[in-house]
Structure formats: structure tokens, C-alpha cells
Chains A and B, each alone.
Chain A
Amino acid sequence: MSRQAREQFRRADHENETFVLTTVVGSYPKPTWLNRVRELYEDPDHGFDEADWAEATDDASRLIANEHERAGLDVVVDGEMRRTEMVEYFAHRIDGYQFNGPVKVWGHNYFDKPSVVSEVEYGETWLVDEYEFTAGVTERPVKVPITGPYTLANWSFNEAYEDTEALAYDLADLVNEEIETLVEAGARYIQIDEPALATTPDDHAIVGGCLERIAKGIPEDVYLGLHVCYGDYSRIYPEILDYPVDEFDLELANGDYDQLDVFRDPEFTANLALGVTDAHDARVESVAEIKENIKKGLEIVPADRLTVSPDCGLKLLPREVAYGKTKNMVDAAREIEAEIDSGELDSRLRPASAD
């Protein structure tokens, strides 16, 4: 891994000298027909089989990757069309997990929280098929978001390990194995998602230990990001700067950048992937509005270390809203680049003064 590896994602026909990388966090609204297809697939009385399901998810994956291309993203994802929930999906593929039934998250929102009942082991691959298919249907680089080991450990019942730390470290070794396989398949942009770190910030050292295991042996040209959302960043900063990752993907638009100050002191030394549209607001922000948000990022890092993305996965939004946000975000980034190229805007901005 290397922070310079981001240059490989600059398109040959990129119109500006300045390059603000545009991408999404991962999930994207599923086309409504895919939800219907899932019902058929899960209905034991229906003839809809494995091959039909594979064809449907391939179609959805191609559709969203192409939609990301049309929006102009530099790095695309397939919107996680094959995945259900961010822990469940992986737990189904890891030996040592067992499912007992849904548990409450809030209100009538449940998830099938799995139990670790024996030592976790790497069985089938998790995301290689998803990556290979997506890479095959787009010319753009494809990012692979993977739920991080700490979140996989913390959002499971632990029946088999001494504590969360021991389980997380074993899972980190499996994530490392999966990434090696993905890299062999051609993946160069890997994002580890650790939302659980926001809920238990005191465990930042465990997440660091996990990332050391994950990054071990990963080649220089692989770009490694970490996504953390919806928490108090002051409780994990600056400690996270020691993590062996190239980029931190942070959710800040939702709180109107009220936590931006956290990252000013000490200086932010990594690359920053800044949330510039709110994933929980069904209003499509204007290009002008998003440009102001991108400028917040330039207060923390110069343009050549800035990535812009939505705050978090967009899957809960109506699809046209998700597209509108993505498209406007790319347009805003391109305008900012042009303004920097022309000298109208500095590549690195001073904090807006209070007066």
C-alpha cells in the first residue's frame, strides 16, 4: 500500500491537471425488480433457482456499475447488489458462524445477528466473484468495500473466543487472505468498513491491531482505505493516523462539518476521503452546495490527497436521489479542479475565519 497509489485512478482523459478522486462508499439502492426477484428466490415453492438468481444479480451489478460510470465517478462499485446486510453477508461465508434468528436494532429494524460458535476459518471466497464480474463490465477501476474484522466481531455474538479482541484478530487474518485473493484478481482499491469503531471508540487499538494484520504483505500499488461513520471522531483522532491505511473515509456532511476541527490539530497526515453529500437526507444537494463541502476538505488536505464520496452507503435513498447526489458530486469536484488549475482557488485552503 502507498498513498501515492491513488494516481493510478486518474483517468487517461481526465480533463484537469488537478485530480480530486471521486467515488462512493459502497452500497447503492437496489433496483425494485431485484427485491421482487429475491422474494421469488427465497420462496421454496417457486421454481426460481440459483442460476436465475445469479443472472439477476449480474444484471443489477452491471446496471449500477454503469450508472456510476454515467455519473462520472473515477472509481465505481456495483452498489453491493449481491449483498444483504454488512455482517450477515460475510458471516454466511465464514466457517465458525451460526445463525439463530433476527434481533432488534431499533424499532422494527432487525438483523440476523450471527453467533461465532467455533474458531473462524476461511472457506469460500467472499467478494472475488463480485469484483471480477464488476471489473468485467466497466472500464473504470472498481473499489471493493469489505466489512472490517472489528465490526464483524463486535456485531456478532461471541460464544467461542475469550474476548472480542481475540476474535477480531482471527477475522483480520481472514480479511487479509481475502484481500490477497482480490489483489490477485486485479483489485487495487480496497476499503475496510468499521462502523463499530464509532460505537466503541475505546477499542481503537484493537482496530489498529486488526489493520496491521490486514495490511501485512499487501503490495505497494494497492490503495487501502478505512471507512468510519456516525461517531465522535475526537475519541479516535489522532490515534487513527498510526493505522497502516492510505485513506480515511469520514462522514462529516451529516453533521454539517461540526467535527472538522478535530482533524486540524495535529495535522492530518493521511489521504482524506470526505463525505460531501448526506446519505440520510433525500434532498439532492446542488453542485454549488457540494463545492462548498469539498472546500472543507481542502482545509484539511491539499487537492492531490483528497477523495470525495457520499457520507456513507446510499442504499436507503430512492435511486434517482442517489444518482442525483452522485452526479452533482462529480460535477462539483470537476469544477473545483478547474478552479484550482486556473488559480482561482488554492489547492490548500485556510480555515474560514470566524468573522
Chain B
Amino acid sequence: MPELVASTPGLYPLPDWAKDRLSSLKGHQKHDLIDGEESEAITAVYEEVREELIGDQAGLDLVVEGQARWDDMLAHPLTVHENVETGGIVRYYDNNNFYRDPVVTGPLTESGDVADELEATAERTDSLQAVLPGPYSLADLATDEHYGEGEFVEAVAEFLAGEVSQFPDHEALFLLEPSLVENPPTDGEDERASEAIDLVAGATDADVVVHTYWGALEEKVHAHLLDADVDAIGYDFVSEVDDNLYNIQEYGTKASIALGLVDGQNTLVESPETVRDRVDWITERLPAQEFDRITLSSNTELFYLPENRYEEKLATLAAAAAERTPEVNA
């Protein structure tokens, strides 16, 4: 029987008190957003938030930092980089959310920004899970004015690998790759995307999960992704069931799998029973697969939710994984 673990793709909502306090300290405009050189007062608020977010994850098997500081969502690792200029406010995928367009104007040298964030969380848990955008998505979210077509994704991958190599000890690394679904790579690009992911994954000994969402991967993109040396692929079973099942049935998947089973974009809270039923339903349809580990997760980042519902979603995931474990041991 596979081991069931509860985790998330991170990017949590700020606690309501911090929304207010940071609004006052930082302001509401584009130039008020995080640039990597924030004041001590702002840093102190984020430290407090980090503590609280760790507490929220008491029942989860893997603990994320929560990325409360990521004003630009998945584009954050670039928008704080010294060789990146922030352009206009642009739409974040098909959501009513916006981020600053990172315009890469110089070499993507190592920055250490994400590693610094993870240090404090690493001291508080033995089950740290790091979260980064995958190289394909991060390149897709950015504008390249330095590298040129064909080289940019690899440059972003090398940058991310450099960041990972500075991370404190971590159990797992989630690479979020929604762009593989939302803006799929064309012929040739799909292979390069997979190689780029491989490059980032090679920078850590931890388990690497490439998490995809907002639908299912195109067949060929999925097939190429399986060539990357990662431990698991994550599938969004909230937004798309049939095509995800088809991909796994037809092409197989890694020895472990992550399942997006809880809706990160709806306040309707799933019960732990519902989540377990979904796991059973999916695994019954994949008789040829024997998983070492199944990670139960939300399909998307959780910042879309109000604070109360985000907390309830974490509790659902924790309970769903926990109640199954005794059965597994029995």
C-alpha cells in the first residue's frame, strides 16, 4: 500500500491582520511591492506571518514556508532579482489577479532570496517542503530581453538550480508548472522544458514533485515530462479528471504521484471522506500503477481563498491523509 502524505503547493493567503498591517506599511501601488530590500518593520511582519503559517500546517506531513512575501505570485523569484526590471501589471493566468511583469535585462545570477526565506522555517520543522515555479512557467511569466529565444528557459532553469543549491535541508521540492497546461510548449519546446525541469531537479537530493494544474497536460507534453528525472508528477483532478486519467493510463507516471484533490479556488470545503473517496476512485482506475507514495494536495496555490477557508482546506488534507494511515498499517 502506498504511503499517503498531506501537502500543498504553498503560496498561502496572508492572515487578515497582516493584510491590513502590510497595506499600511507598504502601500497599494506597483512600486510598493516587494523588491528584496524591504524595511525592518516589513521584514518583522513577514517573520510573524511565517510563524503563523507554520502553525496552520500542524496536521500536514510536509511544511511549506507559505510564501507570504511573494507579491507577484510565481513570478516572485524574478521580480526581486537585480537584473530584472518590473514592467506593467499583467494578468496572472486566467484569474482576476495581477503581477508585475518581470523583464529580464541581464544575466540571471544566483540571488539567494528564496533560500533566505526558507531558513527560518527549516529551523522549525524537520519536514520542510520547498516550493518554486518550474522553469517553464517562470520563463512563461517573464519577458526576456537578454537571452534570446531557445536559451531563456534553460537560463531560468540554471538560475533556479542555483537557488535550490542554497536551500537549507528540505524533504521535498514542489516545482509548480501551470504554464505547461495553460500555455503548452510546442514541438521541440516540450523536450527542452523537460530538460530544464531535470536541471533544476538535479540540484537537490530531496523528492521532487512537478505539479501541474488548470487542466491536463497535452499527451506529448506529458510524455516528455516523464523523461525528467523527478520523483512524482502532480495532476489536477479538481479541474480535469478524464484527461489526467487517460494520460496516466496511456503513458504511466512516476513511482510516486501528487493528486490535486482539494479546490484551491473555491470556498466550498471538501470533507476528508470526499478526498479519500477521490483517492480510491482514482487508484481503482489505475490498476497497473503501484505507487510508493501518494501526496494529497490542493490543485492550485491557496492564496485565492479567504483565510478561514484556507485553514479548513489544510485541515481536510491533514485529516484525509491521517485517517488512511492506520488502515495502511493494519
Of A107, A159, A199, which one neighbours B32 at CB under 8 angstroms? Answer: A107
A336 on interface, CB distance cutoff 8 Å: no
**Is the CB–CB distance between A106 and B98 below 8 Å?**
yes
Q: B303 to A104, Cβ gap below 8 A?
A: yes
Residue B91 is within 8 A (CB to CB) of chain A in the complex: yes
User: Which chain A residues lie closer than 8 Å to B304 at the CB level?
Assistant: 103-104
Q: In the complex the two chains form, is B27's CB within 8 Å of A100's CB?
A: no
Which residues A294-312 have CB closer than 8 A to chain B? none
A155–B16 contact, CB under 8 A? no
* Smallest beta-carbon distance B243→chain A, Å: 18
Q: Distance (Å) between the CB of A289 and the closest chain B CB?
A: 22
Assembled-state Cα–Cα distance A104/B98 (Å): 9
- CA–CA, A154 to B74, complex, Å? 23
Distance A227 CA – B22 CA, assembled complex (angstroms): 33
In the complex where A103-B304, A200-B94 touch, is A108 in contact with B267 (Cβ < 8 A)? no
Q: A106-B89, A106-B98 are in contact. Are A100 and B308 (CB under 8 A)?
A: yes
Interface size on B, residues (CB 8 A): 34
The residues of A that contact B309 with a CB separation of less than 8 Å are 100
- CA gap between A115 and B26 in the complex, in Å: 29
| Min C-beta distance of A30 to chain B, whole Å | 16
- List chain A residues, Cβ under 8 A from B89: 106
Residue A47 CB within 8 A of the other chain: no
Closest to A231 in B: B91
Q: Is the CB of B266 within 8 A of A102?
A: no
In the complex, what residues of B have CB within 8 A of residue A109's CB? 28
Is A108's CB under 8 angstroms from B266's CB?
A: no
Query: Interface readout for A260-272 with B: 1 if CB under 8 Å, 0 if not?
Result: 0000000000000
Which residue on B lies nearest to A103, using beta carbons?
Answer: B306
Residues of chain B within 8 A of A158, CB atoms compared: 266
Partner pick for A103 among B13, B23, B27, B30, CB 8 A cutoff? B13
A107:B307 contact, CB within 8 angstroms: no
In the bound complex, what is the Cα–Cα distance between A109 and B20 (angstroms)?
Answer: 10
Considering the chains assembled together, what is the distance between the CA atoms of A157 and B310 in angstroms? 13
Whether A199 contacts B19 in the complex (CB less than 8 A), given A101-B306, A107-B29, A157-B266, comes out as no
Residues 112-129 of chain A, each 1 if its beta carbon lies under 8 Å from chain B, else 0:
010100000000000000
Contact A108 B27 (CB under 8 A): yes
Q: Could you tell me the distance in whole angstroms from the C-beta of B301 to the nearest C-beta in chain A?
A: 10
**A110-B19 contact, Cβ under 8 Å, with A102-B306, A159-B267:** yes
* A152 close to chain B: CB less than 8 A: no
In the complex, whether B96 has a CB less than 8 A from a CB of chain A is yes
Would you call B180 an interface residue if the criterion is a C-beta within 8 Å of the partner chain's C-beta atoms?
A: no
A109 vs B27: C-alpha distance in the bound complex, in angstroms?
A: 9
Q: When the two chains form the complex, which single residue of B33, B96, B267 contacts A105, counting CB atoms closer than 8 Å?
A: B96
Q: What's the minimum C-beta distance from A219 to chain B, rounded to whole angstroms?
A: 34
A196 contacts the other chain (Cβ, under 8 Å)?
Answer: yes
Query: Would you list which residues of chain A between 206 and 232 have a CB under 8 Å from chain B?
Result: none
Contacts of B307 in A (CB 8 A): 101
A105/B97 contact (C-beta < 8 A), A100-B308, A199-B91 known:
yes
B71, B304, B306 — most chain A CB neighbours (10 Å): B306
Which residues of chain A are near B303, meaning CB under 8 Å? 103-104
A101/B16 contact (C-beta < 8 A), A107-B32, A107-B33, A108-B28 known: yes
Chain A window 79-120, contacts with chain B (Cβ cutoff 8 Å), 1 for yes, 0 for no: 000000000000000000000111111111110010100000
Closest 6 A/B residue pairs (Cβ): A101-B306, A106-B98, A100-B306, A159-B268, A157-B267, A108-B23
Besides A102-B19, A199-B91, A199-B96, 9 more A-B contacts (Cβ < 8 Å) are A106-B97, A107-B28, A107-B33, A115-B267, A115-B268, A157-B265, A157-B268, A159-B268, A196-B96
A residues touching B (Cβ–Cβ < 8 Å)?
Answer: 100-110, 113, 115, 154-155, 157-159, 196, 199-200
Q: Give 10 A-B contacts (CB < 8 Å), ordered by A residue.
A: A100-B308, A100-B309, A101-B307, A102-B16, A102-B306, A106-B92, A108-B28, A108-B71, A110-B23, A159-B266
